[in-house]
Amino acid sequence: MIEYIVAKNIDERVLTRVAGMLCDGKIVALPTDTSWVVVCSHRSKEGIKRLRSISGERDERHFTLLCSDISQFCEFCGMDNSRFRLLKRLLPGPYVFILNTLLGTEKKLGLHRRELGVRISAHPVPEALIQRLGCPLYSITAKKTMLPENRKKAPHPGDGGFFEIDEEDLFEQGCELEDIDGIDLILDSGEYLPLTLSTILDMTGSEIKIIRLGAGGWPV
């Protein structure tokens, strides 16, 4: 099902309804400042289970905690002052930062790693939905390999253990995601998104490492 919206002026009734769906374990697709993502509430065990099934990914590093402000990171991740200043300078924007998790985060999110990718998109739709929901979204990039006819295509591992995603594997329009089994709702702002990915920076060690160079510039 598609819900057509005005990105910068979303009907409050739509936001309330979609937030309720996420609380109930539903899966929603929405635009970001790079490509389309598929999301669930990070508080919904059923939603996380369904999102992992839809994605076909087993490596947790493909999933990102999508937040509306940096303060939401603090519940899950730790960082020093220099890293905090860098995040504050670059966010919101097309970056994913991999951070070390705080004690207890793995249990909260059902993780098997002591690291977590976090992101704040500059797009108004995820920001508005997260604020209405009252908590971050667990997200993954929407890819054409999620379509039924492509599910058996094996991805190729890239640098840092991540699987490479080709720009041709991304979606431009929300209506293109309708054939992905398991998505309960598509929030479609009617725009064509660029076939671009976020820049991924690993901040878990003493030096910041580039995992993927995408729309966000680096070094800055």
- Does pLDDT of 166 surpass 70? yes
Structural class in CATH, domain 2-212: alpha beta
Rounded to an integer, the average pLDDT of 195-203 is: 94
**Confidence category of residue 153, pLDDT binned at 50, 70, 90:** low
For the chain, what's the residue count?
220
Q: What CA–CA distance (Å, rounded) separates 31 from 81?
A: 31
109 pLDDT above the threshold of 80: no
The percent of residues in the chain predicted with pLDDT above 70, rounded, is 92
How far apart are alpha carbons 86 and 149 in whole angstroms?
41
The pLDDT tens digits for 116-145 are: 999 999 999 999 999 999 999 999 999 999
Of the ranges 118-122, 161-165, 186-190, which one carries the lowest mean pLDDT score? 161-165
**41-70 mean pLDDT:** 88
Report the chain's mean pLDDT, rounded to a whole number: 89
Residues with Cβ within 8 Å of 149's Cβ and at least 6 positions away in sequence, in order, are none
User: Three-state SS across 35-90?
Assistant: CCEEEEECCCHHHHHHHHHHHCCCCHHHCEEECCCHHHHHHCECCCHHHHHHHHHH
Q: What is the pLDDT of residue 164?
A: 66
Residues sharing a CB contact under 8 Å with residue 74, sequence separation 6 or more, in sequence order: none
What integer is the mean pLDDT of 186-213? 93
Of 81, 146, 141, the closest CA to residue 117 belongs to: 141
More confident residue, 18 or 75: 18
How confident is the model at residue 113, as a pLDDT?
76
pLDDT at 2: 95
pLDDT at 192 over 50: yes
Judge whether 118 and 73 are in contact, CB under 8 Å.
yes
Q: Which long-range contacts (CB under 8 A, 24 or more apart) does 40-47 make?
A: 40/137, 40/138, 41/133, 41/135, 41/137, 41/138, 42/108, 42/109, 42/135, 42/136, 42/137, 42/138, 43/135, 45/110, 47/22, 47/138
Range picked from 100-109, 143-152, 160-169 for highest mean pLDDT = 143-152
Helices (H) and strands (E) in the chain, counts: 5, 10
E-strand ranges in the chain read: 2-4, 28-30, 37-41, 64-66, 95-100, 115-119, 137-141, 185-188, 199-202, 209-212
pLDDT band for position 59 (cuts 50, 70, 90): low
DSSP 8-state symbol, 179: T
Hey, what are 101's tokens? 């998790």
Span 96-113, average pLDDT: 81
